[in-house]
Structure 1
Amino acid sequence: MKRRPPPGSTRRGAHGEPTDVEKALWHLLGETFAAARFRRQVPIRQYICDFASHRHRIVIEADGGQHGGEDDKQRDAVIQADGYRVIRFWNTDILTNSEGVAERIAECLAERSPHP
């Protein structure tokens, strides 16, 4: 059975336009991992995830300085309970170490081959 997000949870994040970091990550995902079919601003349960591949059950979050606390742990637990793997990258890593970010994403994709 397909789960629908709760009413009101499908609204876009705090900003309608993507940040420079989100644009860079979106470009990386599209150019390097097109077959994974990542989507941007994806509702999962009561959360809006930065990027997700339903095919591989992976969520990718781009984190600035305000992230990393108890709220993120709770959020990750809820998303993981739906069968997704959550990986987080600091904004500075996305902008300055895109090769390392791509390597980590490739590892995660290899571990989570698409379900039939």
Structure 2
Amino acid sequence: MSTAYKVGSYFRDATINILFVTAGLALLYRKQWGRKLGLVIIVISVIYSGNAFAWGFTGGEPTFKAYLFAYSVVGSWNAIWFCLLFKKSSKLALEPIHPNISNSDS
């Protein structure tokens, strides 16, 4: 593989990982865009992760069956995460917290 291919591959992997961390931090700070970013990155990462899994699984150039197996494994794993982020309770968890400001002393 050429140097340009390797640099591009490392840059792509680093970018996807940075976006995953950004989405996770945004979810921790209850930002609505974090959930959307997470969903988009999960879908995008299936494409690259499936290919990498197939090459790593076969130890060389994968066959069609190896690609099919790899994409089914990676797709199933990411589908679980997609469902967890997409379900309604995660939307409710991201709603801003409004504390009750009433004074109970009076």
TM-score greater than 0.5 by the shorter chain: no
Which structure is higher in strand share?
Answer: 1
Which structure is higher in helix share?
Answer: 2
- Length-normalised TM-score, structure 2: 0.29
- Length-normalised TM-score, structure 1: 0.27
Structure index of larger Rg: 2
